[in-house]
Amino acid sequence: MSTRRRRADGGVAYLDVQGTLRERTVDALRDRTLRGNLDTAAASWGEGREGMRRDHGLDEMRERAREIRQSNIRNLPALLAEMQANVRDAGGTVVRAADGAEACRYITGLAKARGVKVVAKSKSMATEEIKLNEALDDAGIEVVETDLGEWILQLANEHPSHIIAPAVHLNREQVAALFREEAGTDDVPDDREGLVAHARVRLREKFAAAGIGVSGVNLGVASTGTICVVENEGNARLVTSQPRIHVAVMGMERVVADWDEAAHILQVLPMAAIGQDAANYVNLITGPRREGEADGPEEFHLVIIDGGRGALRGTEFEEALACIRCGACLYSCPMWRSVGGQAYGSPYSGPIGAVITPLLEGPSSPASRDLPFMSSLCGACGEACPVGIPLQDLLVRARARASSPATRKSGIAFRAWSRLWRRPATYRAWMAGWRLMLRARGRNGWVTELPGPGAGWTEVRDMPARWPPRR
Ligand code: SF4
């Protein structure tokens, strides 16, 4: 079981991102099953979140959450130093990695040094970001994802579609087909409970073989050197306690000062993420197993990744570091809801992905050119964010930084447009021509194919044949 797959041409495919952003979004928009799956997920999140706002004061908790995270980012160097000292006092090892490559080198080196052949992982976006699975796989070490959604994606060889629900873009039938292919038999049930039971049996076999468990970190509590791992399936509890060695991978911004702050964020996180007032499991881990304790790993390693985060402090994008990776902005975004996370071509998708991926990957990356434009700037993301990150403002700033032939062309087009529309006569003439063209091309009240620059619009949607449309 591995992330490595042989392509038909004999090459190795790692979570391949196919085509350009435009090609991926057009493909996604044409996929009706995908749209149905995303609609179902977003509607269920919306219902849960509404309940949290109505009955549990989610909106009122936002200001405090924002204050906490802003203060964390302001005091980051001191908090990290305190966290490190306390983890070491508790018997753990702390490694500060400047980038993903350094973090991967450390973890693969550790696995080799300890003779580990199998690594069990719980869900972690940081390890997706640094491509840890690929690095372990290249080192000849088997990696097993134990979160159900991540395991499904490992079988499908795909990126997560959502920060919290990685396989949200797939439905039950699609998952059943993947399980059958992996098991090499049709004897896999296709009801929800049957699929979960099947995955449980397959994954439990792997826990026993794993020498290292790798988890992410939702929060690090500086005052005690404790990491918090939030989950709903119980697999992270096994990953962090059963194997002989536990490696926790944490983005450097995920640290809070103390338990007062942690308690508030840990309350807000499931409310915003899944519309529940508590997560099923909150694992609190301080160092390795101590003498006399019945379970827990013999070794605990905390790998803290910079990966471009440190450079964002003090810039116009600093607020993005406050993110607690709840995924609420994804579900609230009309763009993400239309195409899903796969189209973004990066581990982080939706509005926060469109902001941080270019920042983490650098100004010359394709993500920097394209992703900031994956938004309608409607502001729903900023409204949904439980720590009050003004995502729409950050997206506008990211657009201003992006420079590509497409953005330069659209700049010229908008300047010409603005000049044209400043004169009432040309505006009226334009609208009259536009109405005539719509009427000439309309069938049954709708235009299905526009010429020239309008072609992109009607490629995936129809347009009313009257403008403005009749109400
Ligand atoms: S930006 Fe806000 S809403 Fe989006 S994932 Fe981060 S914390 Fe959640």
The whole-angstrom distance between residue 471's C-alpha and the CA centroid of its chain comes to: 38
Distance 323 CA to ligand 1 centre (A): 5
Nearest atom, ligand 1, residue 328 CA: 3
Q: Are 138 and 122 in contact (CB under 8 A)?
A: no
Contact 374, 21 (CB under 8 A): yes
Supply the pLDDT for residue 368.
Answer: 81
Residues of the chain with pLDDT under 70: 1-18, 403-407, 467-471
Q: What is the pLDDT of residue 381?
A: 97
What are residue 443's phi and psi, to 5 degrees? -135, 125
pLDDT at 5: 43
Ligand 1, residues at Cβ distance < 6 Å: 163, 323-329, 352, 384-387, 389, 391
Ligand 1 atom index nearest CA of 325:
5
Question: Would you give the distance in Å from CA 68 to the centre of its chain?
Answer: 22
Taking the C-alpha atoms of residue 253 and residue 318, their distance in angstroms, rounded to an integer, is 11
Cα separations in angstroms, 137 against 20, 114, 132: 27, 16, 8
* Cα 174 to ligand 1 centre (Å): 28
Mind listing the domains of the chain with CATH numbers? 60-310 (3.40.50.10420), 423-471 (no CATH)
User: In terms of C-beta density within 10 A (0-12 exposed, 13-18 middle, 19 or more buried), how is residue 186 classed?
Assistant: exposed
What predicted TM-score, i.e. pTM, was given to this entire model? Answer: 0.87
Task: Write the residue with the smallest CA distance to atom 2 of ligand 1.
Answer: 385
Could you read off the pLDDT of 135-152 as tens digits, one per residue?
999 999 999 999 999 999
Residue 389 · residue 326 · CB < 8 Å: no
Residue 10: its pLDDT value, please? 37
Of the candidates 336, 299, 332, the residue with the CA atom closest to the CA atom of residue 95: 299
Calculate how far, in angstroms, residue 326's C-alpha sits from the geometric centre of ligand 1. Answer: 5
Q: Among 69, 323, 374, which is best to mutate for testing ligand 1, by the most ligand atoms less than 8 A from CB?
A: 323
The two most distant CA atoms of the chain are separated, in Å, by: 86
- pLDDT of the residue at 108: 98
Report pLDDT for 412. 81
Which amino acid, one-letter code, is at 327? G
Orientation angle between helical segments 148-156 and 192-209, nearest 10 degrees: 90
Contact criterion met (CB below 8 Å) for 340 and 161: yes
User: Which atom of ligand 1 is found nearest the CA of 332?
Assistant: 3
CB of 342 closer than 8 Å to CB of 287: no
The residue whose CB lies within 8 Å of the most ligand 1 atoms, and thus the one to mutate among 53, 325, 393, 395, is 325
Residue type, 46: G
- Closest ligand 1 atom to residue 384 Cα is 3
> Which atom of ligand 1 lies at the shortest distance from residue 352's CA?
1
Helices 259-274 and 58-74, axial angle in degrees (round to 10): 130
Q: Which of 177, 182, 187 is nearest to 155 (CA)?
A: 182
**pLDDT number for residue 290:** 93
Residue identified by tokens 């928009």 is 29
- The pLDDT of residue 3 is 39
Sign of CA dihedral 104, 360, 126, 161: negative
- 226-231 and 219-221 strand pairing: antiparallel
Q: What's the pLDDT tens digit per position in 313-359?
A: 999 999 999 999 999 999 999 999 999 998 999 999 999 999 999 99
CA angle, 77 as apex, 71 and 82 as ends, to 5°? 95
- What distance in Å separates the CA atoms of residue 94 and residue 115, rounded to the nearest whole number? 21
- DSSP secondary-structure letter at 343? G
Report residue 387: phi and psi, to 5°: -115, 15
Segment holding 61, helix H or strand E: helix 58-74
Closest CA to ligand 1's atom 3: 385
* Tokens coding 468: 């403005």
